[in-house]
Structure 1
Amino acid sequence: MASPFSNVTDLDSVFHSFDKDGDGKISAAELTACMRNIGEELSLEDAEAFVQLADRDGDGLLDLEEFVKLVEVEGEEERDRDLRAAFKMYEDEGDGCITPGSLKRMLSRLGTSRAIDECRTMICRFDLNGDGVLSFDEFRIMMMMV
């Protein structure tokens, strides 16, 4: 999943749209107001906690660099959530891993029929610990490589 902000120029534009007073910093109040403008509710307390999370220089405000780091972390968390949802689709047996059988079933549902041996081979390429199944971490690596 790509971040909606594909480069620093995009993030710079977003940062400046949030920085209503033009001081080069985003306050919790500015963050709350901007989130409300895009239809998201964010309490001042939550905005303050959010700012504090990324505020590296301790001034209670976000500069551009801090904002970029915060957005990158949020993007990673969103990708992780998406990957976990995809993993759960393949891991339909509920045992926390993708087995050759669960991979075969999911591929069939997606219209791509594979023999069980082909599924074992697919899993083997990314099965880092050699247990014959894919854990979430192995699945994440596989998805980054495809």
Structure 2
Amino acid sequence: MASISLDAAIRSLDRDGDGKISAAELALCMVSLMGVELPQEEAAALVALADGDGDGLLEVEELASVLQAGGEEEAERDLLAAFETYESDGEGCITPVSLRRTLSMLGTSKEVHECKEMICRFDLDGNGVLSFEEFKIMMMV
């Protein structure tokens, strides 16, 4: 089973390419990964709390602590909200087309074949789409 690393997630969310997540990038990350709107002030406060080296930016381990904050129940609700963002076709799964559309809304342009490849990495049952359970596994890796 292939998996996406937190390093890869940071690279995809790291708008300025410095290998770290700023408060602005964290706010965007929370919307794209978890479907949670995070005001800039709260994002800055979270960065300050989790920023172990004091550089004002989150590294991989620091981002992991932010994403894992909260209870499992809240995390499940957040994951479901994020899943529903990507699953915009009402089919109960993330399709290559719905993934492409959501990524485009988030400012990342991908072709359908690229979205198929992304889905393939976590499509455990081989049906070409991501169920909520497969999405959870992807997000927890």
TM-score range, shorter chain: 0.5 to 0.7
5+ residue gaps, structure 1: 5-74
TM-score by length of 1: 0.50
Mapping of residues 30-69 of structure 1, within 5 Å: none
The AA in structure 1 aligned to 2:102 is M
Q: 2:86 aligns with which of 79, 84, 90?
A: 90
Q: 1:125 — aligned with what? A: 121
Q: 1:34 — aligned with what? A: none
CA distance in 2, matches of 1:118, 1:102: 12
CA distance in 2, matches of 1:141, 1:101: 21
The AA in structure 1 aligned to 2:73 is E
Q: 1:3 aligns with which of 51, 64, 69?
A: 69
More relative contact order, 1 or 2 (CA 8 Å, 6+ apart): 2
Deviation at 1:2, TM superposition (A): 2.1
Q: How many residues align?
A: 75
| 1:106 and 2:124 correspond | no
Summarize deviations over 1:43-100 as a string: whole Å, max 9, x none.
Answer: xxxxxxxxxxxxxxxxxxxxxxxxxxxxxxxx11100000000000000001100000
Q: What CA RMSD, in Å, does the superposition of the two structures yield over aligned residues?
A: 0.8
CA distance in 2, matches of 1:98, 1:121: 13
CA distance in 2, matches of 1:142, 1:2: 14
> Share of identical aligned residues, percent?
64
CA distance in 2, matches of 1:2, 1:126: 21
| 1:138 and 2:123 correspond | no
